[in-house]
A and B are shown apart, each in its own frame.
Chain A
Amino acid sequence: MMGYILKRLLLFIPTLFVISLLAFIISVKAPGDPVEILSGSASVQGGSTQHGVSKSQKDSIRLRLGLDKPLFYFSMTSSIECDTLYKIQDKKHREVVQRLTYRCGDWQLVSNWYRELKDSYEWWSALEEADFKAEKDSIALEVQNAIDWKNTGNAIFLTMLNSYEPKVIYAQLDSLQLLAGKVPGNLLKTRLDNLDRFWDEMYYSSPGFSFWIPSFHWYGSDNQYHRWLSRLLIHGDFGYSYVDKEPISEKIWKKFFISFKLIFLSVLIAYLLSIPLGVHAASKRGKLSERISSLFVFMLYSLPNFFVGMILLYLFANPDFVVWFPESGYMDPNNYDPNWNFLQRWSAELPYMILPLITYTYSSFAFISRILRAGMLDTLQQDYVRTARAKGIQEHNVLWKHALRNSLLPLITMFVNIFPMAIGGSVIIETIFTYPGMGLASYEAIHNYDYPGIVAIFTLSGFLTMSGYLVADILYAFADPRITYNRK
């Protein structure tokens, strides 16, 4: 037995690795630049790049998130690519530089172009009106002109930094040429000449054979994934929410317990209800009462839970109908008292829990009783049941003592399926009833583009599902002495 548990625990490691890797890939590939979002200068939806926050502030966020490190333990890139690409800070720029490198085949040329462009942009946006004036002595300069020039130039540089299409770049270079003609003196001319030269060098070179040669870089443990995983495993740290910029782990555990209470209760009720029903169905096979109850259970099984939830809301929490239960929420904040004892708190929460509980329970109830009925029918045909009957044991005892015990075994494995189902299903049910658990949290995270939140919930539920499987397997071995996991 211990050997088996150990083996299961060993399988935990690759599973956790895959789940965490998946979660990490999702968080990296998610749209938007975390630094821009956390510093508040851009939202995920719109890619606004207004520089409202100072560079040093962004750098500190970047350092805090460890974004200056390589992504993974190793990387496979084309040999023409620079192996320190991850040092470019902006996510979009990184993509542009990589695409340009693939196109022209020489990392050095791209680097020249990118550096020059970035320097020019920084230099241009740091220029002040006085700088324009100093170059121009004879004609009085209108302040408005200087601001216009600056804005146009900024826009041009930004577009060029964020694009890799030759068409766009050429158009922007042309408009820069125009601007350079307007701006007094040689302010822009030298920069423009450099840019032109670098672009042409880059544009007219093409990737040679070396593009097809892969190069392998080993970065060691100083990478983002390692950092993310070790923080998660050691401190339970899931990073920062994009919405309120606070650590996620504190909130998520509270939400988890709210959800867990509901899920656990519903699974318990479902088991308690479905066992008598399953036994009844099997013993009265073919009779009218059994056929009706089977049909009913089957219909329940096919009903989508969001439909049931909305019908319940429409019937029992509708001002036009009857308001037996509150429509949404978890408890009434107005009369909540933190000093309540266990019972008082439960009685305050109960009305809020009933509708979600029904919605949670009915589908797993239908599921379990169907499985149990099939299992019972199977067991009732076995020889030992016939023997028990032949011995003159009461039918009641045959059903409940002899047959049920063996039919209960698949129910333990069912627990494994129901538990993750409930976690996943909680998204829909908690959204309908606005029940503030993990499901609602993930719904809100998705609609607010809070990717660290989504990833945290995914990882946590993956972990829970895994644990559920382990518990069920162990229980299974305890319940059925015929099962040994040690021998293959």
Chain B
Amino acid sequence: MIFRKRNRADEETRYSFGRDTWKQFRRNRPAYISFYVLLFMLFIGMFASFLANDQPLYASYRGKTFYPAFAEHWIGKSVFGAEGVDSVQHPVTGNWERIQYDIADWRALELGAVIWPLIPFSSSTQDILNRDFVSPDDEHFRRNEKGEVITATGKFRHRMGTDVLGRDVLAGIIHGTKISLLVGIVSMSIALLIGLLLGSLAGFFGDHRIRLSRIRLFLLVPGLLLAWFYAFVLRGYTISDAFGESTGSGFVQLLLSILLFVLILMMIIYGGKFLEFGFFAKQVFLPVDSLISRGIEIFNSMPKLLLIITISAVIEERSIWLLMLIIGLSSWTEIARFVRAEMLKVRELEYVQAARSMGLSEWRIIVKHALPNAMAPVFIYVAFGIASAILVESGLSFLNIGVPDDVVTWGSMLNVGRTEPEAWWMIVYPGLAIFITVTVYNLIGEGLRDALDPRLRK
């Protein structure tokens, strides 16, 4: 056997921080259950387009097999080779029929065999027969293969009702799960990245660790201006054109610009080496900690929600990805503050001193030795941060700000429900979905906090 079978006794004696935390975490029942609820939601979010789709998973039509639901997904392109368009020949007349997957009405085709998804509706499909807020208990209609309108039964009922345009609420909830999870994870990853970087810079280096020659300090001012000029003034139209093209290419250009900015700044500061003489050569401290702490204070005094609302209102091209970026950019301060405090403690510990005396570089000490020690508690903030990011996103889409009109989210469903006081299902289901998701993240955060708190250890 290649894999050595683990000895149970061996396992119990072995101790690791992660395993111990997990043990503590499991003791907290609500948090433990929430963890599995979250896994379940991740499953729903990942397979949203296979769980709720108005195109069948598998269909055979005139002797040909189709996998329409997979066509838009990367699986469809790589595994089934689906391109979203296909042609079939009529067996009797010999006429060619062109089928475009997302436009074709699969329900009206005379399919030989068919496997429908669990919910045979998409979040954005407008069901003309069941529009204007059809309650889950009302009679639902559908068109059969012959084109007659019949009462829908079983799978083809809208189990959570429909909205004003006849869009299925359950499909919207499933699609909204994907969006909410994405918003939480992406925006908090951005916040984590910035928070870790700035927090560890401030905490580890403090005010009296980074020494610069005077000339380099002075060069910072023109350096910043020049870097700004090359990265953002000259490339300004490139970036805005790319965003006009697609959000993805916009982000790529923006990242390129940020990279260029850092590069130019570093080049100019290193260039200061050749000017070090006399007065300019004197070494001074760069007060990183003070600068970043003041920056955090300034940033914290801004009304976050209003800032997010204002920025997303001004941006002409509405995009869910931009919204994630904005939320991420506005919620890094908590993490940065925490990491800073943690690093202030860690940098005085003996093992860091030992690492330094062994001649490791400062960056290596931070990334390999100091940060991992501060990381675990950071995840508490990440869990709470995801919860509040989801709340912010659903609040914004409830106000119809920043989220594109064709993207169905929990918040936008609530917004539609606001117009019709009768439609309780438009309020209760999306509201509960938001509530459950936020609770799950909060409970996990709470459980992590308890698990990592040495005073509460059992």
Contacts and interface: CB of A to CB of B under 8 A. Distances in A.
A442 B308 CA distance: 12
Given A307-B427, A320-B421, A302 B414 contact: no
B303 A102 contact: no
A431 B310 CA distance: 16
Contacts of A30: 314
A310 B302 contact: no
A13 to B, nearest CB: 10
Contact of A76 (B233, B395, B442): B233
B418 A310 contact: yes
Interface in A283-331: 298-299, 301-307, 310-311, 313-314, 318-320
A351 interface: no
B301 interface: yes
Given A311-B431, A320-B422, A446 B301 contact: no
B304 A299 contact: no
B310 to A, nearest CB: 5
A428 B306 contact: no
A14 B401 CA distance: 30
Given A318-B421, A454-B310, A15 B301 contact: yes
A320 B420 CA distance: 12
Contacts of B302: 18-19, 22, 462, 465
Nearest to B307: A458
B395 A446 contact: no
Contact of A14 (B233, B298, B394): B298
A26 B311 contact: yes
Given A29-B314, A310-B418, A428-B398, A461 B234 contact: no
Interface stretch (B61-69, B77-85, B221-229, B272-280): B221-229
Contact of B303 (A15, A78, A214, A423): A423
A310 B423 CA distance: 12
B395 A428 contact: yes
Nearest to B241: A99
Contact of A306 (B229, B398, B424): B398
A398 to B, nearest CB: 21
Nearest to A77: B233
Given A310-B417, A442-B306, A465-B303, A102 B237 contact: yes
A203 interface: no
A305 B399 CA distance: 13
B365 interface: no
Interface in B364-400: 387, 391, 394-395, 398-400
A465 B300 CA distance: 9
A471 interface: no
Given A26-B311, A306-B414, A427-B399, A458 B438 contact: no
B185 interface: no
A310 B303 CA distance: 24
Contacts of A424: 303-306, 309
Most B CB contacts (10 A, CB to CB) among A305, A466, A469 go to A466
A469 B303 contact: no
Contacts of B434: 304, 307
A425 B398 CA distance: 13
A451 interface: yes
A454 B313 contact: yes
A412 interface: no
Contacts of A355: none
Interface in A17-41: 18-19, 22-23, 26, 29-31
A311 B427 contact: yes
Contact of B314 (A314, A319, A451): A451
A14 B294 contact: yes
Contacts of A102: 234, 237
A304 B305 contact: no
B145 interface: no
B297 interface: yes
Contacts of A304: 391, 394-395, 431, 434-435, 438
B436 to A, nearest CB: 9
A212 B234 CA distance: 8
A299 B442 CA distance: 10
B28 interface: no
A11 interface: yes
A443 B226 CA distance: 39
B439 interface: yes
A455 interface: yes
B301 A462 contact: yes
Interface residues of A, number: 61
Contacts of A421: 305
A420 B303 contact: yes
B316 interface: yes
Contacts of A23: 310
Nearest to A454: B310
A320 B438 CA distance: 31
A76 to B, nearest CB: 5
A457 interface: yes
A432 interface: yes
Nearest to B311: A26
Interface in B402-458: 411, 414, 417-418, 421-422, 424, 427, 431, 434-435, 438-439, 442-443, 446
A177 B300 CA distance: 60
A14 B298 CA distance: 8
Contacts of B421: 313-314, 318-320
A193 B400 CA distance: 51
A23 B307 CA distance: 9
A308 to B, nearest CB: 9
Contacts of B400: 447
Interface in A444-478: 446-447, 451, 454-455, 457-458, 461-462, 464-466, 469
A447 B234 CA distance: 33
Interface in B158-212: none
Interface in B217-268: 225-226, 228-230, 233-234, 237
Contacts of A462: 301-303, 306
A297 B69 CA distance: 43
B97 to A, nearest CB: 38
A421 B439 CA distance: 19
A168 B434 CA distance: 48
Given A15-B301, A301-B442, A314 B424 contact: yes
Contacts of B233: 76-78, 214
Nearest to A18: B298
Given A31-B314, A76-B229, A311-B431, A302 B438 contact: yes
A310 B431 contact: yes
A302 B435 contact: yes
Given A76-B229, A427-B309, A306 B395 contact: yes
Given A26-B314, A29-B314, A214-B233, 9 more contacts: A77-B233, A78-B233, A98-B237, A304-B435, A428-B398, A454-B313, A454-B314, A458-B310, A465-B303
21 contacts: A11-B294, A14-B294, A15-B297, A18-B298, A26-B311, A78-B233, A212-B230, A298-B442, A304-B434, A306-B414, A310-B414, A319-B421, A320-B422, A424-B306, A425-B305, A427-B309, A432-B418, A457-B306, A458-B310, A462-B301, A465-B301
Interface of B: 225-226, 228-230, 233-234, 237, 294, 297-298, 300-307, 309-311, 313-314, 316, 387, 391, 394-395, 398-401, 411, 414, 417-418, 421-422, 424, 427, 431, 434-435, 438-439, 442-443, 446
List of 5 A-B pairs having minimum Cβ-Cβ separation, nearest first = A424-B305, A307-B431, A302-B439, A446-B313, A461-B303
Interface of A: 11, 14-15, 18-19, 22-23, 26, 29-31, 76-78, 98-99, 102, 211-212, 214, 216, 298-299, 301-307, 310-311, 313-314, 318-320, 420-421, 423-425, 427-428, 431-432, 442-443, 446-447, 451, 454-455, 457-458, 461-462, 464-466, 469
